[in-house]
Structure 1
Amino acid sequence: MSRAAFGAPAADPAAAPAATGREASPFGKGTVLAVLVVGLIAFLAMLWFISAGDTGGDRENDGGAHAASVGLNGYAGLVRLLDGAGHRVEVSRSPGGLETGDLLVISPSPYADPAEIGALLEARQYQGPTLVLLPKWRANTVPDRAPEEIRERFKQGWVRLGLAIETTWTDDLPAPYTFETALERLEPDDSAAWEAFGMAGNLPARTIKHALDRDTLEPLVSDSDGLMLAFNVLGEEGSDFYERAHWTVIVAEPDLVNNWGLADPARAAAALALVREAGYGEDTRVVFDLTLNGFSGAQNLLSLAFRPPFLAATLCLILALMIVGWRAFMRFGAVAASAPETGFGKARLVRNGAGLILRAKRMRLLAEPYAALAQRRIARALGLKRADEAAIDAALGQRLPDETPFSARAEALREAERPDDIVRAAKALDELARKLTP
């Protein structure tokens, strides 16, 4: 049974002036909507930054020989070259990128674990082509003790090249990947020439790094003396590797493809041809790995939520939340004018009492008291000193001549037996009281 049906005391019109919904609300609808939109954007931004995490930033541009480095020995230029040539390029920080079926480019460090590299190459034999860029230079960033005018000339990631080094871990790779490297230092008057794919040119340094010749290796780029600067691992002729394995191309001389080497247009063209030779031609999609260089980004559930195929479900969830929020915002609208609310304790007492009456099924006992309460309220609203039914009917006939007399409505309530009839008759008295109240 509602509070209105059992006559919560009506507010005094003089004590509670009427207020429209917009006057009663401290904020306009536009202000509330703006707060919701800003909060939603901030929440989505927070989720994005949590999911993205620390991708490395300047920490990756550390002067190392990898795809994120802009130093002379880095390969950021190769990434930009391939992207500008129309290839789809990805710089992967996830271990899952090593399992791609596209051309995988790895640049292990001078201290790489041969067992790890060998296991990776063996796993990719029938998975996809691989391009291995060997290290060559000892590189150092500008030291803090260097003069300020020198340090100001160095940008983030720039390096000073030191001595060239051989790669020893290639000796311990599993067959047929095993090979040895060597360094050839030319005289000051000599130039390091190269030739491949119908092109030729000179290397930027007079120290050449090459692989020692073997029957299982096919030269792709050579110098003027026939030294192998880049080659394809063929394996033993007639073997399953020779017949079925994807290409594994190894660049022993990284100055062909690093940032220093790509400063020359001829070497840049040769580097592009070498990548296409190692992959699937002009349609080659290239994945540069950074995990072997120590830049592995761990994935979590939140980051996966913003990656395909889970991105579609995340967007649907966000859209559903926006719809629910908008629906809730429009559901309530402006604040409706109403009389002062009953205090919390009184409201609880009313609900508890009404619940007890409903459980006891004694609603008929409320009919007579409610009729008497309504009689006093209506008499007070009509300005009568005595709450007499005849006087109320007479005054009501002058104020609201078309309304059913109070006595008839009160009698209908007293005679009602069923709960629905009692509620209906009580509402009729309450409606009459509201019409007499400003």
Structure 2
Amino acid sequence: MSGEAQAAPFRSRTVIIIIVVAAIAFAGFLLLIAFAPQFQSGHDGRGHALSTSGNGYAGLVELTDDLGSHSLIVRDDAQLGTRDLLVVTPEIDTEQKDFTKLLASRGDAPTLVILPKWWTRPMPERPDWAQRVDMMWSGGPVFALSKYAPKMTIDQTPFKARPPRTGDTPRLARVKVGPLNEQQRLTGGGFTPVLLDKDGRVLIGKLVGRPVFVLADPDLLNNQGIADPWTARQGWQVIDDLAPTNEIAFDLTLNGFGTSKQEKSPLQSVFKPPFLPMTLIIVAAGLLAGLHGAVRFGAPAVTARAIAMGKRTLVDNAAMLFRAARKEHRVGAAYAALTRDLTAQATHAPARLSGEALDDYLNRSGKAEGDPPYATLAWQAETAEDRDQLLSAARALYRWRRNRTR
């Protein structure tokens, strides 16, 4: 075989690079599966704290940090119990049970719920931007709150309900929400007015008996609203008045970015304490095993034939067949005849002798040595009934032949 045919198809360096790249890619794949929600950018054109579209609130998060406060992005249900102000941005498809669970975990901590307002769709050329379609139907934004404020409704422009009387609260603050003509306000009952617009309609209401504040028009705090400096100033004043601490938390669990204990991938446990050290040990053991297999110690062993060649192999195979059939004692007569022929050849017995004549000749030759007659030994070998008797007779025949031929 030529040297070219025996050469390896790949260089060692190429094989090592392929293995390393494959290992890194597989580890990255496992990390993506385990921590997929944490790796999502959130630039999807929806209304939440990661969205950079007009109806998102990434601008409010950035404004919070720029003004000296600290923003906290809440992805884990365990963080919902914070005592800081929690900004919640439910969407039109938010389940009421999820919203109820969130408020139950808040206790007496303040919560600001910003109701949705716009139907949007991502722009084809910029998926992180949203294209406004229309305002939502009036019953949609308050669906998640129906358990806590069943009488609360939404009034949208052109407004149909009259502004509530505020004579008992003459100092109630008032604001103006941006230049847009499409606006929405709170009406009905189940809440106490906290902030009014310039016409006296309720922009923010506090649920009765709960520290939950509901902002009817999201354009006061979303990216579209705080793009206007005047609106941003008014919106931040609202946040600053409601926040008991210098930290503002923004919920993402209602927007599909949460990782509750029941929903966590089992793979996350592999990459976190207390199982992380065991994972590192397994990886190190795998690297050592790979290094051991990649480096050869000594010359490669030559592969032996499955079936050896030669007379000895033929005899060994025949012996194994007799042993497997438990018929070893049946070969006594053949061994006695072989012993007789080998002895006659070694002692130069007359060639004309055969059969009983040869046996008589061998018997007479052994009398002088005091050995048993050959015929007696041959008879013992022929009549052996088991392996032990055959072995004893064969040893006697071997001693008899050795005495004749030495």
> Could you tell me how far 1:252 is from its partner in structure 2?
0.8
1:116 matched to 2:97: yes
Alignment-derived partner of residue 317 in structure 1:
278
> Could you tell me how far 1:257 is from its partner in structure 2?
0.9
Distance 2:23 2:94 in 1: 46
Alignment-derived partner of residue 73 in structure 1:
55
Alignment-derived partner of residue 231 in structure 1:
205
Q: 2:130 aligns with which of 151, 154, 158?
A: 158
Report the RMSD for the aligned CA atoms in angstroms. Answer: 4.7
Distance 2:176 2:109 in 1: 30
> Could you tell me how far 1:263 is from its partner in structure 2?
0.5
Distance 1:198 1:312 in 2: 50
Q: Structure 1: any 5+ residue segments left out of the alignment?
A: 1-23, 143-150, 187-195, 236-240, 242-246, 348-352, 354-438
1:305 matched to 2:287: no
Alignment-derived partner of residue 204 in structure 1:
179
* CA distance 1:177–1:271, change in 2 (3 Å): farther
Please list the CA deviations of residues 53-102 of structure 1 after superposition, one character each: whole Å capped at 9, or x if unmatched.
478969x655443344443323333344335555233263x6x3684435
Distance 2:295 2:119 in 1: 71
> Could you tell me how far 1:256 is from its partner in structure 2?
0.3
Contact 2:149 2:189 in 1 (8 A): no
DSSP-derived class of the 1:286 partner: strand
Instruction: Please give the residue correspondences for 1:18-417 in structure 2 after superposition, counting only pairs within 5 Å.
Output: 37-53=20-36, 63-85=45-67, 86-90=69-73, 92=75, 96=77, 99-101=80-82, 103-110=85-92, 115-116=96-97, 119-120=100-101, 123-126=104-107, 128-140=109-121, 156-163=128-135, 165-167=137-139, 170=142, 173-175=146-148, 178-185=151-158, 202-212=177-187, 216-219=191-194, 221-235=195-209, 247-291=211-255, 299-306=264-271, 311-328=272-289, 335-338=296-299, 341=302, 343=304, 345=306
Contact 2:45 2:127 in 1 (8 A): no
> Could you tell me how far 1:211 is from its partner in structure 2?
1.7
Given residue 285 of structure 1, which amino acid in structure 2 is its aligned partner? A
Distance 1:332 1:215 in 2: 73
Alignment-derived partner of residue 359 in structure 1:
none
Contact 1:204 1:260 in 2 (8 A): no
> Could you tell me how far 1:207 is from its partner in structure 2?
3.6
DSSP-derived class of the 2:21 partner: helix
DSSP-derived class of the 1:89 partner: strand
* CA distance 1:31–1:329, change in 2 (3 Å): farther
Contact 1:82 1:89 in 2 (8 A): no
Alignment-derived partner of residue 333 in structure 2:
none
* CA distance 1:118–1:324, change in 2 (3 Å): closer
Alignment-derived partner of residue 327 in structure 2:
none
DSSP-derived class of the 1:312 partner: coil
> Could you tell me how far 1:159 is from its partner in structure 2?
0.8
> Could you tell me how far 1:262 is from its partner in structure 2?
1.2
Question: Aligned residues: percent identity?
Answer: 26
* CA distance 1:29–1:226, change in 2 (3 Å): same
Contact 2:74 2:80 in 1 (8 A): no
User: How many residues in Structure 1 have an aligned counterpart in Structure 2?
Assistant: 289
TM-score scaled by length of structure 1: 0.51
Alignment-derived partner of residue 389 in structure 1:
none
> Could you tell me how far 1:255 is from its partner in structure 2?
0.9
Contact 2:50 2:56 in 1 (8 A): yes
Distance 1:25 1:334 in 2: 15
Given residue 53 of structure 2, which amino acid in structure 1 is its aligned partner? G
> Could you tell me how far 1:270 is from its partner in structure 2?
3.4
Distance 2:140 2:292 in 1: 72
Given residue 183 of structure 2, which amino acid in structure 1 is its aligned partner? I
Distance 2:36 2:102 in 1: 30
Given residue 132 of structure 1, which amino acid in structure 2 is its aligned partner? V
Contact 1:87 1:286 in 2 (8 A): no
* CA distance 1:321–1:287, change in 2 (3 Å): same
Contact 2:176 2:198 in 1 (8 A): no
* CA distance 1:25–1:169, change in 2 (3 Å): closer
DSSP-derived class of the 2:222 partner: coil
